[in-house]
Amino acid sequence: KQEVTQIPAALSVPEGENLVLNCSFTDSAIYNLQWFRQDPGKGLTSLLLIQSSQREQTSGRLNASLDKSSGRSTLYIAASQPGDSATYLCAVPTGTASKLTFGTGTRLQVTL
Amino acid sequence: NAGVTQTPKFRVLKTGQSMTLLCAQDMNHEYMYWYRQDPGMGLRLIHYSVGEGTTAKGEVPDGYNVSRLKKQNFLLGLESAAPSQTSVYFCASSQGTSLWETQYFGPGTRLLVL
């Protein structure tokens, strides 16, 4: 059974700092890995989708990497801002093609 | 373009009552999903649909039923609510399978069952 883990569960950093969020998965036979952002009381917003054939995907200040063999993905946020404060979740397709297995997320707070 | 909308935003039920949660999407997506999110448990898939008129069970389907009579709508029903169904429910949609496509989420429905 695929298990997705995100450590740490919470992180607080000062504004301007570069930071890395981690995601690990137990079954390396994945088609892609997806990163989402969730603001308090809101739904999830897709940030990046990395196909298994890719090693990196970038969007603005965000860079996601994928290492299938080690079962890990990282989300790098450059020059963090208070507006980046949110919970970040990673997910991988498992079982039937319609099922995403989510990690429990990392709650990020960027302080002034 | 409203994306994915959910009705209602918040609801309180008594044990044994029934209700229907409505999800609507205006992106002409084929796939639609219902998740529940609980503290420490992450998001778990309840039911999903790969097209109009189709439904399938997800990870935690017991106590819920769904219908997809129209492509743009996906309804989640609770026939006899239980306190264990207190949760935040999210609907999502995608153009195709999660092997290639990301999912677009609604804002959520907070349900409290007393």
As a whole number, the mean pLDDT across chain A is: 94
Of B42, B102, B107, the CB nearest to A102: B42
Average model confidence (pLDDT) across chain B: 95
- Who among B98, B103, B107 is closest to A42 (CB)? B107
Tell me, what's the pLDDT at B81? 97
Buried b (16+ CB within 10 A) or exposed e, A70-88: ebbbbbebeebeeebbbbb
Interface test with A, best of B49, B91, B99 (most A CBs within 10 A): B99
Lowest mean pLDDT across A78-92, A94-108, B17-31: A94-108
Rounded percentage of chain B residues whose pLDDT exceeds 70: 100
Q: What is the pLDDT of residues B44-85, one digit of tens each?
A: 999 999 999 999 999 999 999 999 999 999 999 999 999 999
Beta-carbon separation of A32 and B105 below 8 A: no
Mutate to test the interface with B, among A35, A46, A98, A106 (most CBs of B within 10 A): A98
Structure tokens at B98: 């999660």
CA distance A40 to chain B (A): 10
CB pair distance less than 8 Å for A43 and B106:
yes
- Nearest CA-CA partner of B6 in B76, B63, B103, B66: B76
User: Is the peptide bond between A8 and the residue preceding it cis, with omega within 30 degrees of 0?
Assistant: yes
Cα separation, A21 vs A19, whole angstroms: 7
Write the burial class of residue A103 (CB in 10 Å: 0-12 exposed, 13-18 middle, 19+ buried).
buried
Q: Do A43 and B90 touch (CB under 8 A)?
A: yes
Query: At residue B99, does pLDDT exceed 90?
Result: no
Q: Which two tokens stand for residue B62?
A: 């017991």
Q: Are A6 and A103 in contact (CB under 8 A)?
A: yes
- Contacts of residue B42 in chain A, CB cutoff 8 Å? 4, 89, 102-105
Interface of A with B (CB under 8 A): 4, 31-32, 34, 36, 41-46, 49, 51, 89, 91, 93, 96-100, 102-105
pLDDT at A98 over 80: no
User: Which pLDDT score is estimated for B97?
Assistant: 85
Tell me which residue of B107, B111, B64, B108 sits closest to B87, measured CA to CA: B111
Residues of chain A with Cβ-Cβ distance to B74 below 8 Å are none
CB atoms A31 and B100 under 8 Å = yes
Residue B102 has pLDDT above 70, yes or no: yes
Q: What percent of chain A has pLDDT over 90?
A: 87
What's the pLDDT at B14? 97
- Give pLDDT, residue A73: 97
Residue A97 predicted with pLDDT over 70: no
